[in-house]
């Protein structure tokens, strides 16, 4: 179901120092994408619902996709609380 999520396309290469999303962040982006697909299947009840839903999804995507850059800034500044995200079990992701 999640094949290809977070996989670098064939022929591409991650550059040194590249800022990348964690697996959990990728899962959130994937879930938002799926929400958009499923919402598109609903019948229209109000003319502005689709555009408002899309705007809300884009706001969520912007927040999630900004996280790697924010994490990098905090790592460069030595702010330890942002150095590595924590999983639900409390361990740091690496």
Residue closest to 69 by CA, chosen among 17, 27, 8: 17
In this predicted structure, the answer to whether residue 83 has a pLDDT above a threshold of 80 is no
Whether 48 contacts 92, CB under 8 Å: no
Average pLDDT score over residue span 12-31: 81
In this predicted structure, the answer to whether residue 24 has a pLDDT above a threshold of 70 is yes
SS3 78: coil
**Mean pLDDT estimate for the chain:** 80
Q: Which residues, in sequence order, are CB contacts of 84 under 8 Å at separation 6+?
A: 92, 93, 94
Signed CA dihedral, 19, 22, 28, 29: sign only: positive
pTM: 0.63
In this predicted structure, the answer to whether residue 77 has a pLDDT above a threshold of 50 is yes
> Whole-angstrom Cα distance, residue 6 to residue 11?
15
């Amino acid at each position: 179901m999640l094949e290809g999520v977070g996989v670098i396309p064939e022929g591409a290469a991650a550059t040194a120092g590249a800022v990348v999303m964690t697996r959990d962040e990728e899962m959130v982006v994937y879930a938002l994408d799926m929400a958009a697909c499923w919402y598109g299947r609903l019948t229209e009840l109000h003319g502005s619902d689709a555009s408002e839903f899309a705007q809300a999804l884009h706001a969520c995507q912007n927040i999630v996709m900004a996280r790697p850059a924010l994490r990098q800034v905090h790592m460069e500044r030595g702010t330890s609380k942002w150095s590595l995200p924590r999983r639900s079990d409390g361990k740091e992701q690496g």
